Chains A and B, each alone.
Chain A
Amino acid sequence: DTGVSQDPRHKITKRGQNVTFRCDPISEHNRLYWYRQTLGQGPEFLTYFQNEAQLEKSRLLSDRFSAERPKGSFSTLEIQRTEQGDSAMYLCASSPDRGDQPQHFGDGTRLSIL
Chain B
Amino acid sequence: GQSLEQPSEVTAVEGAIVQINCTYQTSGFYGLSWYQQHDGGAPTFLSYNGLDGLEETGRFSSFLSRSDSYGYLLLQELQMKDSASYFCAVRAPYNQGGKLIFGQGTELSVKP
Contact A33/B105 with A91-B43, A106-B42, A107-B41 known, Cβ cut-off 8 Å: no
With beta carbons under 8 angstroms apart, the residue of B30, B41, B104 that contacts A42 is B104
B33 pairs with A102, CB closer than 8 A: yes
| Closest residue of B by beta carbon distance from A49 | B97
Q: Are A107 and B42 in contact (CB under 8 A)?
A: yes
CB-based contact B87/A42 at 8 Å: yes
Do the beta carbons of B42 and A102 come within 8 Å of each other? no
B28 contacts chain A at the CB level, 8 A cutoff: no
Contact across chains for B43 and A43 when beta carbons are under 8 A apart: yes
Chain B, range 47-99, C-beta contacts under 8 Å to A: 48, 50, 87, 89, 94, 96-99
Is A25 on the interface with B (CB-CB < 8 A)?
A: no
Beta-carbon contact of A108 and B45 below 8 Å: no
Picked from A42, A56, A105, the residue with its CB within 8 Å of the CB of B103 is A42
Task: Check B42 against A43 for contact (C-beta < 8 Å).
Answer: no
Please give 11 more A-B residue pairs, beta carbons under 8 A apart, in addition to A43-B87, A48-B97, A106-B42.
A35-B100, A42-B87, A42-B89, A42-B102, A42-B105, A43-B100, A45-B99, A91-B43, A100-B50, A102-B33, A103-B33
